């Protein structure tokens, strides 16, 4: 089994390299237009890299967390925004597996390459009606929504008096939503993370799920499920989000190393940066920080995959450490990127220089709620004393 998984991982990473030039060629256009170029979206579809967390019965690869992490890091070398969108599609497709069979068939049955978004902030309102619910609300930061087929949205079910009854997760075709252009940022611009809007959209009963079932860990020991679908979805998605940032850091390091021999250090006598021991030593320190970030994410991915394979539920203390891992990883990378900007020199800020793009994209992605380094540290530190969780869904 291990060799089969490893071979598939290598194949999928190679697929990324095969479409890499297309992704890289679209970076400037995507940054300018604040959405992925059509050629990029076609490359994603044709390479099937958005199907890693889709069930095999629907034409997906059903890989583990480590494999998607490796694919995500590789995507970031070519286009960080593409990496983020692919990460979000795969995570959303994993969450879609929690819905009943009828909903899964509706989404993937005739479209194995269906792409989903998922947004769990600014919950909407759902009012029960015959056979389902009427959904109204706005959900910002819907990464990839311009190219997705379906969206998983959070809502509060309310009674006739407008009182909240429970929190639910709903599955809606993007064609039934309105997308507002609200994504104006300095980084990750091409993700097109705009606002999804629903105005009285009907959602049938089979596409509604209590949030605690959507984000919970009740499947961890269910041996009737494939290992992927026993994984703690929130923790797994956090690792992949961090992997996007780590891949950016690795790409930035490679760029600085590649250009260093041909660059001097103003105003010194050094005509080649590697001749400076200060430069070499600083680069070594920075490289070790990026390596450490990767080790944090790999540790978490391997822990999740091993538990899922054995149908064992991860304890809360371990899940807290995973949140600490991902926060620490992205924090290390953002610091490393500052150091790489210094090492490369003022040219790093030229619009034509990919370093400034890496710097903007990584710092934007690192501020995602699941990657908050301060929350991760508090969660992990609190585990040593048995303190209450500060994050409901680990």
What confidence category does residue 282 fall into, taking pLDDT thresholds of 50, 70 and 90? very high
With both helix axes pointing from N to C terminus, report the angle between 38-47 and 2-25 in degrees, rounded to the nearest 10: 160
User: Distance between the two ends of the chain, CA-based, in angstroms?
Assistant: 29
Q: Is the pLDDT of residue 45 over 80?
A: yes
- The yes-or-no verdict on residue 194 having pLDDT over 60 is yes
What's the CATH code, domain 116-211? 2.40.110.10
2-108 fold: Butyryl-Coa Dehydrogenase, subunit A; domain 1 (1.10.540)
**Equal fold, 2-108 vs 116-211:** no
Question: 3-class SS at 122?
Answer: strand
| CA-closest candidate to residue 74, choices 19, 117, 140 | 19
Residue 1 has pLDDT above 50, yes or no: no
**What gap in Å lies between CA 202 and CA 200, rounded to an integer?**
6
In CATH terms, the fold of domain 227-383 is Butyryl-CoA Dehydrogenase, subunit A; domain 3 (1.20.140)
The backbone torsions φ and ψ at residue 133, rounded to the nearest 5 degrees and listed phi first, read -140, 155
Q: % helix / strand / coil in the chain, to the nearest 5?
A: 60, 15, 25
What tens digit of pLDDT does each residue of 249-264 get? 999 999 999 999 999 9
Mean pLDDT throughout 3-28?
94
Is the predicted pLDDT of residue 280 greater than 70, yes or no?
yes
What are the structural domain ranges in the chain?
A: 2-108, 116-211, 227-383
Look at residue 161 in the predicted model and tell me its pLDDT. 82
- Residue 3 has a pLDDT of 66
pLDDT digits (tens, 9 = 90+) for 66-78: 999 999 999 999 9
Give how far Cα 327 sits from Cα of 118, 286, 300, 387, Å: 21, 18, 12, 19
**What is the tens place of the pLDDT at every residue in 298-332?**
999 999 999 999 999 999 999 999 999 999 999 99
Q: Output the pLDDT for position 5.
A: 75
List beta partners, residue 172: 151
**Containing H/E element for 77?**
helix 65-78
Structure tokens at 23: 């992704």
Confidence of residue 6 (pLDDT cuts 50, 70, 90): confident
């Amino acid at each position: 089994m291990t060799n089969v998984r490893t071979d598939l991982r290598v194949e999928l990473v190679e697929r990324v390299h095969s479409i890499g030039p297309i992704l890289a060629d679209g970076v400037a256009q995507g940054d300018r237009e604040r959405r992925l170029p059509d050629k990029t979206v076609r490359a994603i579809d044709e390479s099937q890299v958005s199907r890693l967390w889709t069930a095999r019965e629907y034409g997906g690869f059903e890989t583990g967390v480590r494999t998607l992490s490796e694919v995500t890091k590789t995507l970031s070398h070519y286009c960080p925004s593409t990496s983020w969108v692919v990460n979000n599609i795969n995570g959303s497709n994993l969450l879609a597996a929690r819905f009943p069979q009828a909903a899964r068939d509706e989404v993937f049955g005739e479209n194995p390459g269906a792409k989903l978004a998922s947004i769990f902030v600014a919950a909407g309102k759902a009012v029960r009606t015959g056979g389902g619910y009427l959904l109204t609300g706005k959900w910002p930061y819907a990464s990839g929504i311009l190219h997705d087929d379906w969206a998983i949205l959070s809502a509060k079910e309310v009674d006739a008096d407008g009182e909240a009854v429970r929190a639910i997760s709903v599955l809606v075709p993007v064609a039934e939503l309105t997308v507002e252009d609200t994504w104006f940022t300095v980084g990750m611009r091409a993700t097109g993370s705009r606002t999804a809007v629903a105005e009285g959209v009907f959602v049938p009963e089979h596409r509604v799920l209590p949030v605690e079932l959507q984000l919970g860990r009740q499947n961890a020991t269910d041996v009737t499920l494939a290992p992927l679908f026993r994984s703690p979805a929130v923790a797994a998605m956090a690792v992949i989000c961090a992997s996007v940032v780590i891949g950016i850091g690795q790409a930035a390091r490679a760029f600085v190393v590649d250009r260093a021999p041909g660059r001097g250090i103003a105003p010194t006598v050094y005509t080649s940066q590697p001749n400076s021991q200060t430069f070499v030593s600083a680069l070594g320190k920075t490289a070790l920080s990026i390596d450490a970030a990767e080790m944090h994410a790999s540790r978490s991915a391997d822990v999740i995959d091993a538990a899922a394979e054995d149908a064992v539920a991860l304890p809360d203390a371990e899940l807290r450490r995973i949140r600490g891992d991902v926060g620490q990883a992205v924090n290390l990378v953002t610091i490393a990127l500052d150091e790489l900007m210094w090492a490369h020199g003022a040219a790093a800020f030229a619009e034509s220089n990919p370093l400034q793009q890496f710097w903007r994209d990584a710092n934007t992605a690192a501020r995602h709620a699941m990657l908050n380094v301060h929350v991760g540290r508090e969660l992990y530190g609190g585990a040593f004393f048995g303190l209450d969780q500060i994050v409901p869904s680990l």
